[in-house]
Amino acid sequence: MTLHSIYSISMVILDLPLGYVADFIGRKKALIISSIFAFIAFFLYSLSSVFYEFVVVQLFLGLATSLASSTDSALLYDTLDELNKNKDYKENERNILSIESFSEATASILGGLVATINMRYNLYFETFFIFISII
């Protein structure tokens, strides 16, 4: 719970300033940088073994989440605006939310199966998939 609190506090503190940064550097760049921070976080997570290492991971995850927070929705809105399809925003956002929920449910089931082999394998897989998101 302490680690999750650190993550949550870092998100609250960083959300507003990093939202400004995302507007300043551009939404695509912000999402790429966010993925890089998430990759670093999960890479460190997969190697961590003591509390203070996990604190660093939570700070990186808070940074990554804050930078991506609402940036993806803003990018979707801007893209639809350029295509004169603003009316499709809510439908697209719902579809994305559905895909995210289905993916999380599937990953939870698969993660449980993988954890029966080795708990750290889930971290390795997550690190790999986040690396792919950078590309």
User: 84's torsion region: left (phi>0), alpha (psi -120 to 50) or beta?
Assistant: left
What's the gap between Cα 116 and its chain centre? 25
Taking 90 as the threshold, does the pLDDT of residue 23 lie above it? no
Structure tokens at 122: 């889930």
Residue 35's contacts (CB-CB under 8 Å, 6 or more residues apart) are 64, 68, 130, 133, 134
Q: Quote the mean pLDDT of the chain.
A: 91
Residue that the structure tokens 């719902």 belong to: 94
Taking 90 as the threshold, does the pLDDT of residue 15 lie above it? no
Residue 6's contacts (CB-CB under 8 Å, 6 or more residues apart) are 55, 58, 59, 62
Structure tokens at 81: 């605006």
- pTM to 2 decimals? 0.84
